Structure 1
Amino acid sequence: MTRIAFGTSGWRGILCEDFTFDNVKVVVQAIADHLKENGQAGNGVIVGSDTRFMGRRFTEEAARVLAGAGIKACLCDRDVPTPVISFEILRRQANGGINFTASHNPPEYNGIKFSPSWGGPALPETTKDIEQRANRLLGTVCWQEPTLEEAERQGLLERIDPRSAYLADLERKIDFDALQGIGTLALNPLYGTSRGYLEPPLQRRGVPYRIINDHLDPYFGGQPPEPSEAHIPDFITLVRNDPAIRLGLATDGDADRFGILDADGTYIEPNYIIALLLDYLIRVRKLSGGVARSVATSHFVDAVAKKHGVPVFETPVGFKYIGELICQDKIVIGGEESAGLTIKGHVPEKDGILACFLVAEMVAREGKTVRELLERLYGEVGRFVTRRDNLRLSPELEAAYAGKVAAVPREVAGAAVTDVITVDGVKLLLADGSWLLFRKSGTEPVVRLYGEASGEARLNDVMAAGRQFILG
């Protein structure tokens, strides 16, 4: 029997194999039991999904299970972005949110992400409790499920449209009026939930735009719904071939991640976007506070923070840790190299829609391309080049991995190791400012190797040394 296991972003599985209606009901019942035992069932739970197969059916089954447990379900009327669920939790002071999404994973996957009442991704102690409850329930049927009509009559189901409230709040956080002179924007929701969210603020101001992949397709056009360079060739071609387009803005399947193309179609790494926006928010918007980044995210962010004299909070991978710092009002911006960010005063969750429009605002107000802004910032704080590789391990290498990283080398690619960071994985800081990070996957025999240096040649040497250390 399948065992329920929550990862950094909830429980995910392959449809019809482990992600089944029976297992979904078990997980939702476990969430209901968790909420009731902790006295957090009174204000209801937001229930939504992305655009994957059977998403609507899964949300309806979840609403029935919640109603059977005496918990009100606020059921979203269509597929909904992950950050909008977070926003609606906070706006309604709900007890949490259940989101059926596998984010940027391929179309055969689906998942359940639970967000508690503070609006961010659930912390490990919460997901561990839900996981344990779910695994005890596997194979049992011990709850009653009313029909949706019965739940509605009992006041345990409310159908909601959270879009207008979220967009109204976004209008207060983005200077959309500045975009009126930017030129044409290209939009790519990747067949996902940002359809109908990216367009309205532009339509209201007459900002010209071109949009592709804005219809429902659970296959996501044959690519994972991830706005990385490898998965958006059609979007890159569109921007590259249309001289009127000033900027390309893309989101992933559940709209919590972003992808940015410059005016010439060049893909801009998320690491660089986070650093640029930190500088912009402090220098132009005059916001105050520190910055949070995951352990795998570029130290370009640190250099910008040093320039402005603000603290850096290094977190494990997983946006829940950055979300906590947003709730504590300690940071101006928090971001991860995997294209997730949020800002001061916004939801404690990744928001790709917000990220896209922040970049558009920055480009419009600064009057420069993204590359021009990058070159200017490089001139002020230095150049940073980052990379990530996946190293697949043989059974022998996997067995030896823990012992290997417990005895790290004193030198990497000719530079002394000056510090070892173990907040998540093993990160080696080198004397010349370069660094390497080894993170073992929790689900497959793969080590994720991250590296950074001041130039491509040096980064090649550092990454080669990292590969040799793990595989040699």
Structure 2
Amino acid sequence: MAHITFGTSGWRGILCEDFTFENVKIVTQAIADYLKESGEAANGVIVGCDTRFMGKRFTEEAAAVLAGAGIKALLCSRDVPTPVIAFEILRRGAAGGINFTASHNPPEYNGIKFSPSWGGPALPETTRQIERRANEMMGDFCYSELSLEEAKRRNLLEVIDPHCAYLAALEQKVDFDALKTIGKLGLNPLYGTARGYLDAPLKALGIPYAIINDHLDPYFGGQPPEPSEAHIPDFISLVKNDPTIRLGLATDGDADRFGILDADGTYIEPNYIIALLLDYLIRVRKLSGGVARSVATSHFVDAVAKKHGVPVYETPVGFKYIGELIAQDKIVIGGEESAGLTIKGHVPEKDGILACFLVAEMVAREGKTVRELLERMYADVGRFVTRRDNLKLSPELEAAYPAKVAAVPKEIAGAAVTDVSTLDGVKLVLSDGSWMLFRKSGTEPVVRLYGEASSEARLSEVMAAGRSFILG
């Protein structure tokens, strides 16, 4: 039997191998037991999915198990973005949400993401309890079910459509009127759940746009549904070759991540977008509060925060930690280098749809391209260049890795190590402001090496030193 393990964004597995109907029912029962024991089963559980194979079937099986446990399932009528599920949990005061998604993973994967009543991704203390319960039940099939018809008859199943309520709330968080001045936008929902979310507000306001990949395709066009530079060549080509497009906006499969293309088709690193939006929200929107970023996210954010005199909260990787700070109303914006962000007054969950529209609003109101905004900010706070590499480990290197990172050098890449953080992985901050971070994958023999410096040349030195330290 498969072993259920919740990672940074829930339990994920390969369809028909470990991600099976039986295992889904067991995990759903474990969630139901957790909710009942914690006294939070009232007001129902939102159940939704992204556009992957069998998503609707999985949601129906989960609804049947929830109903069998006496918990009302609020079943989304179509595939739904992750941030919309978070929004609906809060809007309804629901007990939580079960979301069938593997986000940006390749199409052979699916997953279960559980969000408790506060709307953010479940924290480790919660997922550990669900994990333990599920693994104790493996092989015993300790769940009960009701047919969907019987569940409806007992008022334990309701089909819902959160689309309109979410978009209405988004109108209070984005200046869509400003977008009327921007010109034509390029949109790419990557065959995912943002269909009808990225385009609907623009259509309603008569804002011109060109859209691609806006039909269902569980294979995601042969690429992982990740809006990173490597996986959106068709979108880059569209924006680059259409001089009327001012900005390209993309989202991943479950619409919690964003991808931004400038007017010339240049891909803009998410790290830089977070820093620019922090400045915009404080300087133009006049929002108050700090900023949260993961340990792997650019210190460009810190430099902008220092400019405005606001605190920086560094978190482990995983948006749940940033979501907590949003829920506590401590920050203006929180973001991760992996293209997730949210803002004050919004859901404590990544929202790629909101991120895209905020960037469009910023570009429209500032009257500049993203690159022009970046150059202006670099002139104020200095230049930051970031990169991430995956380092594959041999069995010998993997065995030696813990001891290696436990004895970090006092100097590396020609600079003194001024700070060592073990918040998540091992992060070395150097005397010239450069840094490198080593994070071991929990599922494969890979170390993720993150680095940052003030120039491409210096970054190459930092990354080379990091690779040599791990692999040498």
**TM-score between the two structures when normalised by the length of structure 2:** 1.00
Partners in 2 of 1:440 and 1:467 — Cα distance?
13
Please name the residue that 1:91 is paired with.
Answer: 91
Partners in 2 of 1:395 and 1:181 — Cα distance?
57
Alignment pair present for 1:363 and 2:363: yes
Partners in 2 of 1:190 and 1:457 — Cα distance?
34
Please name the residue that 1:101 is paired with.
Answer: 101
Partners in 1 of 2:144 and 2:429 — Cα distance?
55
TM superposition shift of 1:225: 0.1
TM superposition shift of 1:141: 2.6
Alignment pair present for 1:8 and 2:12: no
Q: Secondary structure at the match of 2:172?
A: helix
Please name the residue that 1:179 is paired with.
Answer: 179
Partners in 2 of 1:144 and 1:8 — Cα distance?
29
Listed as ranges, the matches of 1:206-217 within 5 Å are 206-217=206-217
Q: Secondary structure at the match of 2:43?
A: coil
Please name the residue that 1:346 is paired with.
Answer: 346
Alignment pair present for 1:285 and 2:246: no
Partners in 2 of 1:438 and 1:324 — Cα distance?
25
Q: Secondary structure at the match of 1:287?
A: coil
Q: State the Cα deviation string for residues 111-132 of structure 1 (Å, max 9, x = none).
A: 0000000000000000000000
Is the Cα–Cα contact under 8 Å of residues 384 and 455 in structure 2 kept in the other structure? Answer: yes
Partners in 2 of 1:446 and 1:259 — Cα distance?
25
TM superposition shift of 1:179: 0.6
Please name the residue that 2:385 is paired with.
Answer: 385
Listed as ranges, the matches of 1:379-418 within 5 Å are 379-418=379-418
Please name the residue that 2:440 is paired with.
Answer: 440
Partners in 2 of 1:7 and 1:280 — Cα distance?
33
Listed as ranges, the matches of 1:25-174 within 5 Å are 25-174=25-174
| AA partner of residue 41 (structure 1) | A
Partners in 1 of 2:34 and 2:434 — Cα distance?
44
| AA partner of residue 128 (structure 1) | R
TM superposition shift of 1:146: 1.2
Partners in 1 of 2:40 and 2:140 — Cα distance?
24
Partners in 1 of 2:61 and 2:99 — Cα distance?
13
Q: Secondary structure at the match of 2:74?
A: strand
State, as a whole percentage, how many aligned pairs show the same letter: 85
Q: State the Cα deviation string for residues 28-47 of structure 1 (Å, max 9, x = none).
A: 00000000000111111000
Q: State the Cα deviation string for residues 325-369 of structure 1 (Å, max 9, x = none).
A: 001100000000000000000000000000000000000000000
Larger CA deviation: 142-151 vs 37-46: 142-151
Q: Secondary structure at the match of 1:409?
A: coil
Is the Cα–Cα contact under 8 Å of residues 22 and 141 in structure 2 kept in the other structure? Answer: no
Q: State the Cα deviation string for residues 276-311 of structure 1 (Å, max 9, x = none).
A: 000000000000000000000000000000000000
Q: Secondary structure at the match of 1:399?
A: helix
Alignment pair present for 1:257 and 2:257: yes
TM superposition shift of 1:420: 0.3
Q: State the Cα deviation string for residues 254-293 of structure 1 (Å, max 9, x = none).
A: 0000000000000000000000000000000000000000
Partners in 2 of 1:143 and 1:113 — Cα distance?
19
TM superposition shift of 1:142: 3.0
| AA partner of residue 72 (structure 2) | K
Please name the residue that 1:219 is paired with.
Answer: 219
Please name the residue that 1:310 is paired with.
Answer: 310
TM superposition shift of 1:199: 1.1
Partners in 2 of 1:157 and 1:430 — Cα distance?
56
Q: Secondary structure at the match of 2:416?
A: strand
Partners in 2 of 1:69 and 1:379 — Cα distance?
59
Please name the residue that 1:235 is paired with.
Answer: 235
| AA partner of residue 233 (structure 1) | P
Please name the residue that 1:294 is paired with.
Answer: 294
Q: State the Cα deviation string for residues 94-138 of structure 1 (Å, max 9, x = none).
A: 000000000000000000000000000000000000000000111
Partners in 1 of 2:13 and 2:382 — Cα distance?
42
Partners in 2 of 1:120 and 1:51 — Cα distance?
21
Over the aligned positions, Cα root-mean-square deviation in angstroms equals: 0.4
Please name the residue that 1:198 is paired with.
Answer: 198
Q: Secondary structure at the match of 1:173?
A: coil
Partners in 1 of 2:230 and 2:305 — Cα distance?
30
**TM-score between the two structures when normalised by the length of structure 1:** 1.00
Partners in 2 of 1:462 and 1:198 — Cα distance?
38
- Residue-pair matches, total: 472
Is the Cα–Cα contact under 8 Å of residues 225 and 252 in structure 2 kept in the other structure? Answer: yes
Partners in 1 of 2:216 and 2:11 — Cα distance?
24
Is the Cα–Cα contact under 8 Å of residues 245 and 263 in structure 2 kept in the other structure? Answer: yes
Partners in 1 of 2:219 and 2:204 — Cα distance?
31
| AA partner of residue 358 (structure 1) | L
| AA partner of residue 307 (structure 2) | K
Partners in 1 of 2:361 and 2:343 — Cα distance?
14
Partners in 2 of 1:292 and 1:57 — Cα distance?
37
Q: Which runs of 5+ in 1 are unaligned?
A: none
Q: Which runs of 5+ in 2 are unaligned?
A: none
Please name the residue that 1:336 is paired with.
Answer: 336
Partners in 1 of 2:141 and 2:177 — Cα distance?
55
Partners in 2 of 1:292 and 1:220 — Cα distance?
32
Partners in 2 of 1:410 and 1:125 — Cα distance?
35
Task: Report runs of 4+ in structure 1 exceeding 4 Å deviation.
Answer: none
TM superposition shift of 1:143: 2.9
The 3 A distance-change label for structure 1 pair 414 and 143 is: closer
| AA partner of residue 80 (structure 1) | V
Please name the residue that 1:451 is paired with.
Answer: 451
Partners in 2 of 1:200 and 1:236 — Cα distance?
22
Please name the residue that 2:470 is paired with.
Answer: 470
Q: Secondary structure at the match of 1:450?
A: strand
| AA partner of residue 189 (structure 1) | P
Please name the residue that 1:247 is paired with.
Answer: 247
Partners in 2 of 1:410 and 1:19 — Cα distance?
45
Partners in 2 of 1:387 and 1:45 — Cα distance?
39
Partners in 1 of 2:142 and 2:290 — Cα distance?
48
Q: Secondary structure at the match of 2:225?
A: coil
TM superposition shift of 1:204: 1.5
Q: Secondary structure at the match of 2:171?
A: helix
Is the Cα–Cα contact under 8 Å of residues 297 and 336 in structure 2 kept in the other structure? Answer: yes
Partners in 2 of 1:99 and 1:448 — Cα distance?
27
